[in-house]
């Protein structure tokens, strides 16, 4: 029988237990919830049936019959695993077909797919930047982008959210100090916790003026914004001026994985230097094939119909909450500000009791005392469900 040493027991009881106690005291301890899908619009969560207003499956493709069938057929044809990394023997026809579809969809020369969106960020940033370079991130950039920037060894700078005046002063100072180093500006097109958008047109002008590159994370715009759901970059016709477009296939596409779309040379370099690609088993071939089917759906008539339904749901929610600034809610994310962490958790629990799941988002995901309920809309929601949610929300809005 395995016996733990006294030192190990002391470390667990005095270290781990104490840290968990601190999280409890601050109202920040999290736990995994067991979810089961009951029907198209309902889920069972911790034993209760609720309407899910927390999913990033904005178009409802994760439960679509078309993608279910695509997955079944792909498993039958390709099996369930890739067997190795892409550079060993795991690179299959469906991976390359997905990347060709993504490149065409995003208006770039090439694309590269990864197992997750997080793997994209921690692979791409260190592959392109290092010592002597500078990565400048919007303060509200996703944690994966911050992780990737830290791993790169480049100098890391943060500019206040969407503050282009401050960003320009930083770029001037960086260029004056280091004329030869590369500068990469990093932002999201739609920010995951606030639902607002980056001023991409102005950002492009700014980075061009100072000789920088721009990486735009389209995770929450892919499939939703722009022509055929091709994202905010395409919506602003900036495909040829944004060096790096990254995103995920786990939100509007309804599957899993991540991608980066860029020039052919950049993609070739990433194949050789992105560690999260080189040292990871390739995504299951059936997942890649299903993701390609999702991209085709998003860009076709079915995607148009689902986006129309999503935007109708968004308009209905905002009409019931006129105090929210509709101009700031660019996609399907509607933050309902609460403030305190404990208060946000209590509000989420009361919503659960009423039959609605909208999670409490707390530090460190957002700043302290900026806790909120994060409401996400789907093409699958019914108007009556939105009306019921709003009735409950009004009791908690600050």
Mind listing the pLDDT tens digit of every residue in the chain (398 residues)? Answer: 556 565 565 666 667 888 888 888 887 888 887 778 765 567 887 778 899 999 999 999 999 999 999 999 999 999 999 999 999 999 999 999 999 999 999 999 999 999 999 999 999 999 999 999 999 999 999 999 999 999 999 999 999 999 999 999 999 999 999 888 999 999 999 999 889 999 999 999 999 999 999 999 999 999 999 999 999 999 999 999 999 999 999 999 999 999 999 999 999 999 999 999 999 999 999 999 999 999 999 999 999 999 999 999 999 999 998 887 767 777 899 988 888 988 988 999 999 999 999 989 888 888 888 898 999 999 999 999 999 999 988 876 55
Active-site residue, 251 included: yes
In a domain, 331, yes or no: yes
Note if 240 is an active site residue: no
Whether residues 132 and 150 share a domain: the answer is yes
7 is a domain residue:
no
pLDDT number for residue 67: 97
Residue 7 CB neighbours (<10 A): 8
Q: Assign residue 151 the CATH number of its domain.
A: 3.40.640.10
Tell me what pLDDT residue 298 has.
98
Q: Any idea what the CATH number is for the domain that residue 317 is in?
A: 3.90.1150.10
User: Is position 53 within any domain?
Assistant: yes
In a domain, 306, yes or no: yes
Active-site hit among 78, 106, 118, 251: 251
My answer on whether 43 and 91 are in the same domain is no
In the prediction, which pLDDT does 265 show? 98
In the set 57, 133, 188, 194, the catalytic residue is: 188
For the question of residue 38 being annotated catalytic, the response is: no
Together in a domain, 118 and 253:
yes
Residues 187, 162, single domain; the answer is yes
CB-based contact 261:110 (threshold 8 Å):
yes
Instruction: Say which of 78, 118, 142, 207 is annotated catalytic.
Output: 142
How far are the Cα atoms of 115, 150, 289 from residue 95, in angstroms, in the given order? 11, 29, 7
Q: Are residues 164 and 215 both part of a single domain?
A: yes
19, 354 contact by CB (below 8 A): no
245 and 307 inside one domain: no
The answer to whether residue 78 is catalytic is no
The pLDDT, as a whole number, for residue 8 is: 60
Active-site residue flag, 316: no
* Residue 129 in domain: yes
DSSP state letter for 197: B
- Clarify whether residues 175 and 203 are in a common domain: yes
Choice among 118, 207, 220, 381 that is catalytic: 220
Judgement on whether residues 128 and 276 belong to the same structural domain of the protein:
yes
Q: Which of 249, 271, 298 is the last residue of a domain?
A: 298
Residue at which a domain ends, from 298, 322, 356: 298
The answer to the question of residue 19 being in a domain is no
What per-residue confidence (pLDDT) applies to 166? 98
pTM: 0.91
**Do 279 and 333 sit in the same domain of this protein?**
no
Do 209 and 227 lie in a common domain? Answer: yes
> 347 with 369, same domain?
yes
In this prediction, residue 188 carries a pLDDT of 97
Whether residue 9 is contained in a domain is answered as no
Phi then psi for residue 138, to 5 deg, are: -60, 140
Catalytic member of 192, 250, 313, 378:
192
52 is catalytic: no
Q: How far apart are CA 108 and CA 159, in angstroms?
A: 28
Same domain, yes or no: 310 and 281 = no
Indicate the residue among 298, 317, 342 that finishes a domain. Answer: 298
DSSP state of 312: H
Q: Is residue 20 part of a domain?
A: no
The contacts found for 307-315 with CB under 8 angstroms, 24 or more apart, are 307/59, 307/223, 307/224, 307/229, 307/379, 309/379, 310/58, 310/59, 310/224, 310/377, 310/378, 310/379, 313/377, 313/378, 313/379, 313/381, 313/383, 313/386, 314/377
Looking at the 3D structure of the chain, how many domains does it have?
2
Q: Report the pLDDT value the prediction gives residue 142, as an integer from 0 to 100.
A: 96
57, 138, 217, 385: the active-site residue: 217
Concerning whether 220 is annotated as a catalytic residue, the answer is: yes
Q: How far apart are CA 245 and CA 247, in angstroms?
A: 7
Reduce the DSSP state of residue 69 to 3 states and report it.
Answer: helix
pLDDT of residue 128: 98
- 95: containing domain: 63-298
């Amino acid at each position: 029988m395995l016996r733990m040493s006294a030192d190990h027991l002391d470390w667990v009881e005095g270290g781990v237990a104490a840290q968990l106690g601190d999280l409890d005291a601050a109202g920040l301890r999290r736990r995994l919830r067991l979810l089961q899908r009951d029907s198209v619009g309902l889920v069972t969560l911790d034993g209760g049936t609720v309407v899910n207003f927390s999913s990033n499956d904005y178009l409802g493709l994760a439960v679509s019959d078309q993608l279910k069938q695509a997955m079944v057929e792909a498993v039958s044809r390709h099996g369930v695993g890739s067997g190795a990394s892409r550079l060993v023997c795991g690179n299959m026809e469906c991976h390359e077909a997905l990347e060709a579809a993504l490149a065409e969809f995003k208006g770039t020369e090439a694309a590269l797919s990864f197992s997750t969106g997080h793997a994209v960020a921690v692979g791409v940033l260190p592959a392109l930047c290092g010592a002597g370079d500078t990565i400048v991130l919007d303060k509200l950039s996703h944690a994966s982008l911050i992780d990737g920037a830290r791993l790169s060894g480049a100098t890391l700078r943060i500019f206040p959210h969407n503050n282009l005046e401050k960003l320009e002063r930083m770029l001037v100072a960086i260029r004056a100090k280091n004329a030869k180093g590369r500068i990469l500006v990093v932002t999201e097109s739609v920010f995951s916790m606030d639902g607002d958008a980056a001023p991409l047109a102005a950002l492009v002008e700014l980075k061009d003026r100072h000789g920088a590159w721009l990486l735009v994370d389209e995770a929450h715009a892919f499939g939703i914004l722009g022509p055929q759901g091709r994202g905010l970059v395409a919506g602003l016709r900036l495909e040829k001026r944004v060096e790096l477009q990254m995103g995920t296939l786990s939100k509007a596409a309804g599957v899993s994985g991540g991608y980066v779309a860029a020039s052919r040379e950049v993609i070739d370099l990433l194949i050789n230097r992105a560690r999260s690609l080189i040292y990871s088993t390739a995504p299951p071939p059936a997942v890649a094939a299903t993701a390609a089917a999702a991209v085709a759906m998003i860009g076709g008539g079915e995607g148009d119909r689902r986006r129309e339904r999503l935007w109708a749901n968004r308009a209905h929610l905002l009409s019931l909450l006129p105090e929210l600034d509709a101009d700031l809610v660019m996609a399907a994310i509607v933050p309902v500000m609460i403030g305190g962490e404990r208060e946000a958790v209590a509000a989420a629990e009361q919503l659960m009791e009423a039959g609605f799941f909208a999670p409490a988002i707390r530090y460190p995901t957002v700043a302290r005392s900026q806790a909120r309920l994060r409401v996400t809309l789907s093409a699958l929601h019914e108007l009556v469900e939105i009306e019921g949610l709003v009735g409950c929300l009004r009791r908690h809005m600050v």
